Chains A and B, each alone.
Chain A
Amino acid sequence: MDALLEFYLDPRNNLVEQTITFFQLCLIPIALAIVIGVVVGVLVYRSAALSFVAVNASNLIRAVPVLAALFIFVPIFKIGFLPAAVALTLLGIPPVLLNTYVGLRGVDSAAIEAARGMGMTGWQIMTRVQAPLVLPVLAAGVRTAAVQVVATAPLGGLIGAGGYGDYIIDGVNSLNTTEILAGSILVAALAMLVEIGMSWLERRLTPAGLKAQAA
């Protein structure tokens, strides 16, 4: 325990800088994945052909091993923060996109018909009817994506992305158990925090009407 604390407090280990880098390495890809996943999901859900392509492409991306995804961008972007961020973004898109699609398809078509019939504009249908019903499903997708990105981000250390991954990779290379543990504990704690936080958000976003018991 003391060794760990000492490690964290040692200015040579740059805990603050590494934390900032690690957060950037997680938050930027998660944010990008949400934007891309939601936009693509909204654009394709109405068309059977387009959604077939999007859903299958998502599943295909999921099948790519994380390490392969990480290294595949190195020839293009060289090593560092950028290739890792791109790979993590790619990793985060499928759960967001799939849940956006599933959520939108899950909205009762009769509710949409009624909304059109009462004279709602497309924008009103989206904001007043679809969004509240899709948001909890989307939040579940974002939770999966976020946990996955946080858990995978340390691998960025392998291609020089910085962050807590540096501690782990460094620790493994120098057989320094304290350093390995120092990195792993932070990553694990962060992943769990994300899981707990997002679950809470998901419950908050679920409208009371959907939790209500059937008559």
Chain B
Amino acid sequence: MSKIAFRDITKRFPGARRPAVDSVTFAVPEGSTCMLVGTSGAGKTTLLRMVNRLIEPTSGEIIIDGKNVLTENPIELRRRIGYVIQQIGLFPHMNVAENIRVTAEVAGGWTQRRLDVRVDELLELVGLPPVEYRRRFPRELSGGQQQRVGLARALATDPALLLMDEPFGALDDITRTRMQDELLQIQRNVRKTILFVTHDMDEAFKLGDLIAVLDEGKVAQLGSPVDLLTNPANEFVARLAGADNVMRQLEFLPVSGALDREQTVPFPGWENVPECAPNASLLTAMLKLLETNAPALSVQTGNDSRVGYITLASITSGITKTRNKERQLASERA
């Protein structure tokens, strides 16, 4: 079931040439992470902020758990949704523990003792040892640590839906990568439905189960990272997804899409080649080929259900195929 659905949602700012968000319709399944990507001014943040009604839509519906949020009390709505922003916005006069508990205090329904336990639990979850960090003030933390507290704060009431607006955008590369890895780790435990705005395509591919590409307020394409790479809807998506980005293709395209077509039975000498799962990435397969110096890998799940073989040559042709698709889209437009 979808957790959140946009139905024909439009936002027109007074005096603007075109709508910031233009009849957007799509749904995000429960427990998945949907990345909102696009160039600046594409309407990503506007779309996100309409979900917790920090911006009021001009028309359309936003359905969460089957209910149109636009008929709800916005204050009550926001208390059920986690919200993380790039500028973090911790309260400087409160220490880390107070910053986290304030969310739950505002939402109500928590006893002081449960809150104490909850704060420590969350600090553990975001990788800040409670004993050391509970009483620190935001000023005494690095940017990365502050955003960990920002994330803990958003998770305080255990909301099913999390809105994240470029949360790692202001962090340095190393910290950003680490935070992304940890978010993936945390998400494996908590299974929230996440709407995540970013302009960093690497981040979108890394974190997203789904990617919604926005262009001039409209959804250009909604699909999985692999969809975007293998079946871009138009040239804009192809360019943004980087259909010619060899590294990204190696990382995200599955082995099953680049099998050696001609070779379903083993070649002489292929009887004992290493195995590889069909959903492994091309990169994994390539590294295995290079490391083992084997002529091919047997692509199979379990012991005997072999789907085929993959070789360095078939990887190359698999990648060329997606690149040609992009060229084709470009020439169709020209």
Contacts and interface: CB of A to CB of B under 8 A. Distances in A.
A212 B87 CA distance: 20
A115 B106 CA distance: 10
Contacts of B287: none
A118 B139 contact: no
B85 A119 contact: no
A113 interface: yes
A117 B139 contact: no
A111 B89 contact: yes
Given A119-B78, A119-B106, A128-B102, A114 B93 contact: no
B153 interface: yes
Interface residues of B, number: 34
Interface string A110-128: 1111111111110010001
A159 interface: no
B91 interface: yes
A133 B93 CA distance: 7
Contact of B77 (A111, A115, A119): A119
Contacts of B107: 118-119
Nearest to B74: A119
A207 B90 CA distance: 14
A114 B164 CA distance: 12
Contacts of B95: 208-209
15 contacts: A108-B92, A110-B85, A111-B89, A114-B83, A115-B89, A117-B52, A117-B85, A119-B79, A208-B137, A209-B95, A210-B139, A212-B137, A213-B139, A214-B140, A215-B139
B139 A209 contact: yes
Contacts, number: 91
Shortest Cβ-Cβ A-B pairs, 7 listed: A114-B89, A110-B89, A110-B87, A119-B78, A207-B93, A117-B83, A119-B79
Contacts of A207: 92-94
Interface in B119-141: 137-141
Chain A interface main SS type: helix
Contacts of B87: 108-110, 113
B78 A116 contact: yes
Nearest to A135: B93
Given A110-B87, A212-B137, A214-B140, A118 B78 contact: yes
Nearest to A131: B93
Interface of A: 108-121, 124, 128-129, 132-133, 207-210, 212-215
B331 to A, nearest CB: 45
A201 B246 CA distance: 64
B229 interface: no
A121 B73 CA distance: 11
Contacts of A118: 78-79, 83, 102-103, 106-107, 153-154
A8 B138 CA distance: 54
Interface string B54-97: 10000000000000000000011111100101011111111100
B189 interface: no
A132 B76 contact: no
Given A116-B54, A213-B140, A215-B140, A121 B75 contact: yes
Given A209-B93, A212-B139, A215-B142, A114 B75 contact: no
A119 B89 contact: no
Contacts of B102: 118, 128
Contacts of B76: 119
Contacts of B137: 208-209, 212
A209 B87 CA distance: 18
A114 B52 CA distance: 12
B13 to A, nearest CB: 18
A109 to B, nearest CB: 8
A110 B92 contact: no
A180 B310 CA distance: 105
A189 B330 CA distance: 84
A132 B93 contact: yes
Given A117-B83, A208-B137, 20 more contacts: A110-B87, A110-B88, A113-B54, A113-B87, A113-B89, A114-B91, A118-B106, A119-B77, A119-B80, A119-B107, A120-B75, A129-B91, A133-B93, A208-B95, A209-B94, A209-B138, A210-B92, A210-B93, A213-B140, A215-B145
B132 to A, nearest CB: 13
A120 to B, nearest CB: 5
Nearest to A112: B89
B136 to A, nearest CB: 8
A6 B163 CA distance: 75
Interface in B195-233: none
Contacts of A110: 85, 87-89
Contacts of A114: 83, 85, 88-91, 150, 153
A124 B83 contact: no
A214 B83 contact: no
Contacts of A210: 92-93, 139
